Amino acid sequence: MDAGDLKIFRTVAREGSISKAALALNYVQSNVTTRIRQLEGQLQVPLFHRTNRGMVLTPAGDHLLEYADKILDLLHEAELSTQTGSKPAGKLRLGSIETAASSFLAPLLATYHSCYPEVQTSLVTGGTHELNQRVMQHDLQGALVYGPVDHPELNYIKVFDEELVLIAEPGLHQMAEVLGKPMLFFEIGCTHRIQAEAFLHSRGVHTLNVMEFGTLNTILSGVSAGIGVSLLPRSSVVQAELRGEVSVIALPEPYCRFEVGLVHARSEHLSGALRGLLEMMTTRNI
């Protein structure tokens, strides 16, 4: 049994199928099947029940998964501990909420890579809950999320404050004109929706008509076309407002304020690459 076997085993356990695990690992499906069978043969015990719905862990598989998580996390931490020198280098796997990725993180990463060209960065976007989970699973070294975040497995460092504004189709500038329209959001449960519900309740609107739109661009396009309205950070709608694609309406206190911060796993060694980016983030926002 080696780290490669454990990584494949853990991925199959998480994904629930050989095909999904092969896709996640970028392996040939037959190779994943062979490695799982070899591992079961070595241990002389079945690790999965094969069902029509996919791969389900046996009791022995459940026990092995606990150890696999610990072993792989320790190996990952050992790798990161070698990247804590004075000059950031190595891989940096980041996540970010989409609004922060476009308006804040992209220009910052351009400066970061001019200073630290030896860092290999990958970036994914998602919702705060999803990104927090991926950081705790060590799929990501850090992520920019809506804060504050209070979780025993995560460290949260505030990076900047943002203003939340209401956007509507061009020509609508009064709050009374837009309160009854559908609200366009990234996902159910997103931070913007929570603040929207609180704000609308304060205005006597107790039923929220929500439409889920997957990306910032689709939300802006939907609002511009008159499908509905949305609550977004001001920094992410400035260009659309300048182009005359949306109208921006200021929200009253306290509904217009929220913060964005960086989360990283408490159990994970803070790599030199992530430390360098964090220092640049906080210095930029002093």
Tens digits of residue pLDDT in 139-194? 898 999 988 888 888 999 998 888 888 889 998 777 777 777 888 887 655 666 67
Residues 49 and 122 in one domain: no
Q: For 195-226, how does the pLDDT look when each residue is reduced to its tens digit (9 = 90+)?
A: 777 777 787 776 677 787 778 888 899 999 98
Query: Using one digit for the tens of pLDDT, what is the confidence trace for 222-240?
Result: 999 989 888 888 888 888 8
Q: Same domain, yes or no, for 156 and 275?
A: yes
145 shares a domain with 30 = no
- Claim: this prediction has a pTM higher than 0.75: no
How many independent structural domains does the chain possess? Answer: 3
Specify the CATH number for the domain of residue 34: 1.10.10.10
Q: What percent of the chain has pLDDT over 70?
A: 92
Residue 204 sits in a domain whose CATH number is: 3.40.190.10
Task: For residue 204, give its domain range.
Answer: 163-257
The secondary structure of the chain as a DSSP string is: --HHHHHHHHHHHHHSSHHHHHHHHT--HHHHHHHHHHHHHHHTS--EEEETTEEEE-HHHHHHHHHHHHHHHHHHHHHHHTT-SSS--EEEEEEE-HHHIIIIIHHHHHHHHHH-TTEEEEEEE--HHHHHHHHHTTS-SEEEEEE----TTEEEEEEEEEEEEEEESTT---HHHHTTSPEEESSTT-HHHHHHHHHHHHTT-----EEE-SSHHHHHHHHHTTS-BEEEEGGGTHHHHHTTS-EEEEPPTTTTEEEEEEEEETTS---HHHHHHHHHHHHHT-
* Range in 75-79, 111-115, 265-269, 276-280 the model is least confident about: 75-79
